[in-house]
């Protein structure tokens, strides 16, 4: 949970451990990576998002699970993740 480089304003963690893996967690991670244009432990050029592929976050019953700034999002689909990331990118 320690990071040696600055993270994005929104740190997106996608679980690819077994429960999440079985219901699309890995595909979800790759979708997030493609959408954001960054890989594991990288940050977007504008500093808004960073991405991390993570081990089990203890949310297996609600897989696939994503955390953004340590807020849980359950049963996440690619479409739900798109909506979530797009909403965070809007000026607030």
Task: State the residues that interact with ligand FES by CB under 6 A.
Answer: 15, 17-20, 56-60, 63, 65
Using the minimum distance from each CB to ligand FES, give the nearer residue, 15 or 68: 15
59 or 81, CB closer to ligand FES? Answer: 59
Smallest gap from Cβ 6 to ligand FES, in A, equals: 26
Rounded CA separation 12/69 (Å): 7
Nearer Cβ to ligand FES, position 9 or 11?
11
């Amino acid at each position: 949970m320690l990071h040696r480089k600055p993270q994005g304003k929104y740190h997106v963690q996608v679980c690819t451990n077994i429960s999440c893996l079985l219901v699309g967690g890995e595909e979800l991670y790759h979708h997030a990576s493609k959408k954001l244009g960054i890989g594991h432990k990288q940050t977007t050029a504008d500093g808004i998002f960073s991405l991390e592929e993570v081990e089990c976050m203890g949310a297996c019953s609600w897989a696939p699970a994503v955390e953004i700034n340590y807020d849980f999002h359950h049963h996440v689909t690619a479409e739900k993740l798109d909506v979530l990331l797009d909403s965070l990118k809007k000026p607030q």
